[in-house]
Structure 1
Amino acid sequence: MYVAIIIRSLKVFGGGERNVISLIEALNRKLITPDILTEENVRYEEIETRYNKNVKFNLIKINTPNVKIFHFLKEIFFSNPILHSLEKYDFVYDFTNKPPLVFNSTKYLKYIYVLNDRRAARFSKATYFYILITKILSSIGIKKFRRIHPGIINITQSEYIQNEIEKSTGIKIPIIYPPVNLNEFYCNRNPNRSGIVSIGRFSREKNYFLQIEIAKKFPRVQFTFVGSVKNDAYFRKILKKIKLDSVQNITLLPNANFNQLKQVLCSSLIFLHTTIEEHFGLSTVEAVAAGCLPLVHNSGGQQEVVRFKEFRFNELDNAVEKLENMLDMPDDKKDDYRRLLKADIQKYDEINFQNKILAYLNF
């Protein structure tokens, strides 16, 4: 079987990239080596280091315009230049989160991360209008495919995004939750857990400045920020703010490998996630699997992952109050919550994602 996967990049090392790596692994088990159509080169060694996975694929690089306006247009219509080459595939998985393609194949799965990315839209007018245009085109695309190509499959990653799509299009599409290898994140019981860890690429929508403000309220508690650096300018802003505010209790681990990530998770008491209206919250699932107690923003897909209101906050003062309660919580109560949270995340186990997304290939 000839399979293609379209994704903008495999170098960001975020949730979407994890989905694709997990899919490649599942395809490899079926003796399928997919073609990856992407804008950036990536080495096998990089993927193995970050994800602890040894996968095989053929990378086909798509050229990106250097002029900003042309790049903007290509962002909206990312896959159009490769339309002519897609018809040769038996199945195409599209993880670009851009408006759907129109081509003759009826074996096409569009994995929709988000319809209206309000996380990023709050930071600039240009970003807001770009996301608005993408939302309109994506909504039209979903409706259009429903009418013209009923065999083409739309999938999303959470109830939160499912509801967003239904409000915009009137169509309720199925969910395949993102994958986490729960066993891989298992940690031996550690009664000496301490400190707070945060995981997520170093970008504005991850709200690291709020995390710095929280860290300033707890000078005796160690905070560790783990993430990939895609935006060097924003990462430098984080470093500058930490220095200007004389914050002594924050450690940064940029571009950490899997072993470094797991080591921090296994030794940390609390996982902090400050993104507002996160689409899902895959890193939260990883942290819970590792035994951390989560504190997340009370919005978006995080409400699905963390059902306990005592572990969700609305603003800075509320986060500080809840963090104080978590730090003072008796050990037996912490263990009770860990058990309940781990039971909740079983549905996100990687094998469920792989089985469901491969089922569309009709094995």
Structure 2
Amino acid sequence: MYAVVAHHYWGTPGGGQLVCAATAWSLDATGRTPVLTGTFKFDPAKYREWYGIDLSKYPAVTFPISARAFGLWARLWVWRPAAKAVRKYKPEIVFIDEVTYKPLLKEKDYKLVEYIHFPFEVVVDPRFKGTGLAYGEDPYIMERYGKFPLNLYWKTFVKGLRRYMRENPFHAADVVLVNSKWTAEVAKMVYGERPAVLNPPLPPNVEIVEKPKPFDERKPWVVMLGRFSQEKRYHWVVTQVAPRLFKEVPEARLIIFGGAATPTLQAYKERVRRMAQEAGLKVAETLDADAQVYLIANAPRRLINEAMDRARAFLHATINEHWGIAVAEAMARGLTPVVHKSGGAWTDLAEEGRYGLGYQTAEEAVEALAKALTQPLGLDPRERVASLTLDNYAKALSRYVR
């Protein structure tokens, strides 16, 4: 028996890629052979390095080219390689984490599982103007696609979305899953029904530290982790948060680890560096330098883990983050997460203050960080992420499949 796992682009590490890799592994555990489908060629062996999940033994169906540009538009064509795999392998199940699968429904003779990272309808449908999540309102979208020329790129995407997007997922799919309670509430607003929540797992190669260093042996460091991309809001942190934090806690340091594998990401990193320097901050690119802000691109996991093990707080600046795998990874190492009071990072990981601190303004972020850096809080974030294992994800998915 076969099971198709369809994702728009497998070629870079990210939350969606982790979910799909974990799903392939989980379906394999149920006795089905996963078939990986995506728009562009990719190297399955990378998943062992990124997440500790081996995808190299599974067949893959992709377009015969490699590409990193036009990743947003790639979402529009996710159904094409999936349709090819359906014809060739005649799967029992199709798992897809995109909305653009309307053409797949024409001759559907398999069970379909849709996993929603975020309901795109709330962004593009005029009915949801005023919710704070529509285009022009949601900071997550506007940080990345709000200005020329990317606003044109976005508008072209929306036109294609209307052509290929399925309608109500509860009418199209046999099972509808989402990544967080926050996303489930947004989905209920859009579709009228609440999907089941299946949190993404921690990657198997991310350990939950058994005995993290005590507070007094850690340094007043704040760590951030995520690609150097506009929606991560590093520019906001170095201009609005860091200068105030260093006045409150002079010995504090800000360490930003980010992927910068493309010219666009590299350009954003340089922009953040310039903005930090213009704000009067001392910037370096290696931890052995004397600085206040460290911008470290494409760091090995060993270096990231070492820094986390010496730090006291983890800052996540994205607004309306649907889940936040980097937050979960930091919690696994015992760091106090400081996250915006929106999205799944706040509802499902920090659990609205139970396992971390929240903020809405720059002043509140500085206050929360200063608190996390200067006094033990009695929080153990590891308790929250202890259940986010690949095995538990597989068991939960298996129940839905049955």
Whether these two folds match at TM > 0.5 is yes
Distance, in Å, in 2 between the alignment partners of 1:32 and 1:360 is 15
From 293, 304, 322, the counterpart of 1:261: 304
Mapping for residues 109-128 of structure 1, pairs under 5 Å: 109-116=113-120, 118=138, 119-122=140-143, 123-124=145-146, 125-126=151-152
Counterpart among 169, 174, 177 of residue 155 in structure 1? 177
More deviation, 39-48/270-279: 39-48
TM-score normalised by length of structure 1: 0.83
Give the aligned partner of residue 21 of structure 1: 21
1:56-112 deviation digits (Å, cap 9, x = unpaired): 32222225799x99x876633531464254151121111235455414123111111
Q: What SS does the aligned partner of 2:166 have?
A: helix
Counterpart of 1:348, as a letter, is: L
Looking at structure 1, the residues matched to 81 and 44 of structure 2 have their Cα atoms a distance apart, in angstroms, of 26
For the structure 1 residues 73 and 40, does the alpha-carbon distance in structure 2 shift closer, same or farther, using more than 3 Å as the test?
closer
For 1:96, the equivalent position in structure 2 comes to 98
Q: What TM-score do the two structures reach when normalised by structure 2? A: 0.76
1:36 maps to 2:22? no
> Does structure 2 conserve the Cα–Cα contact (< 8 Å) formed by 1:185 and 1:262?
no
**Structure 1 unmatched runs, 5+:** none
Give CA-to-partner distance per residue, 1:203-257, whole Å, 9 cap, x none: 2111111222223332642222223335532432322331453232233333334
2: CA distance, partners of 1:115 / 1:137? 16
Q: Tell me, in whole angstroms, the C-alpha distance in 1 between the residues paired with 2:28 and 2:158.
A: 37
Match in the other structure for 1:190: 213
Aligned-partner Cα distance in 1 for 2:141–2:195: 24
Amino acid at match of 1:245: A
2:334 maps to which residue?
A: 291
Task: Trace 1:51-90 onto structure 2 (pairs within 5 A).
Answer: 51-55=51-55, 56-62=57-63, 75-80=75-80, 82-87=82-87, 88-90=90-92
Return closer, same or farther for 1:291/1:164 CA change in 2, 3 Å cut-off.
same
Match of 2:272 among 241, 245, 255: 241
**Corresponding letter in the other structure for 1:165:** A
3-state secondary structure, aligned to 1:301: helix
Q: 1:315 to 1:126 in 2, by over 3 A?
A: farther
Shift of the 29–146 alpha-carbon distance from structure 1 to 2, 3 Å rule, reads closer
Aligned partners of 1:229, 1:355: CA distance in 2, in Å? 35
Secondary structure of the 2:207 match is: helix
1:229–1:235: 8 Å Cα contact kept in structure 2?
Answer: yes
Q: Deviations over 1:3-45 (max 9, x none)?
A: 2111122232111111122223334445544221113333344
Does 2:372 match 1:326?
A: yes
Look up the match of 1:48. 48
Matching of residue 350 in structure 1 with residue 390 in structure 2 = yes
SS of the residue 2:61 aligns to: strand
Partner of 2:233: 207
- Measured in 1, the distance between the counterparts of 2:294 and 2:261 equals 18
Alignment partner of 1:291: what SS? coil
In structure 1, the residue matched to 2:191 is 169
Per mean C-alpha deviation after superposition, the further-off stretch among 121-130 and 87-96 is: 121-130
C-alpha contact (below 8 Å) 2:4/2:93 kept by paired residues: yes
Q: Which amino acid aligns with 1:188?
A: K
Query: Following the alignment from structure 1 to structure 2, what is the Cα–Cα distance between the partners of residues 321 and 131?
Result: 39
Question: Sequence identity, in percent?
Answer: 18
Alignment-mate amino acid for residue 105 of structure 1: D
Matched-pair contact (CA < 8 Å) for 1:49–1:258 = no
Q: Distance in 2 between matches of 1:23 and 1:282?
A: 16
Tell me: CA distance 1:72–1:208, structure 2 relative to 1, closer, same or farther (3 Å). Answer: closer
Contact 1:296 1:311 in 2 (8 A): yes
One-letter amino acid of the structure 1 residue matched with residue 303 of structure 2: Q
* Contact 1:39–1:62 (CA under 8 A) maintained in structure 2: yes
Residue in 2 that maps onto 1:106:
110
Q: 2: distance between equivalents of 1:21 and 1:72? A: 20
Unaligned ranges ≥5, structure 2: 124-137, 284-291
Letter in 1 for 2:62: K
CA separation of 1:296 and 1:267: change in aligned 2, threshold 3 A: same
CA distance in 2 between counterparts of 1:244 and 1:300 reads 27
**Separation in 1 of the partners of 2:226 and 2:353?**
22
Q: Relative to 1, partners in 2 of residues 1:44 and 1:175: Cα closer, same or farther, differing over 3 Å?
A: same
CA distance in 2: counterparts of 1:196 and 1:250, whole angstroms? 10
Contact 2:260–2:298 at 8 Å: present in 1 too? yes
Q: Give yes or no for contact 2:116–2:178 (8 Å, CA) kept in 1.
A: yes
Aligned to 1:3: 3
2:321 corresponds, among 263, 278, 282, to: 278
Aligned equivalents of 1:97, 1:231: Cα separation in 2: 26
Query: What amino acid maps onto 1:193 in structure 2?
Result: R
CA apart distance, 1:46: 2.2
Matched AA of 1:323: L
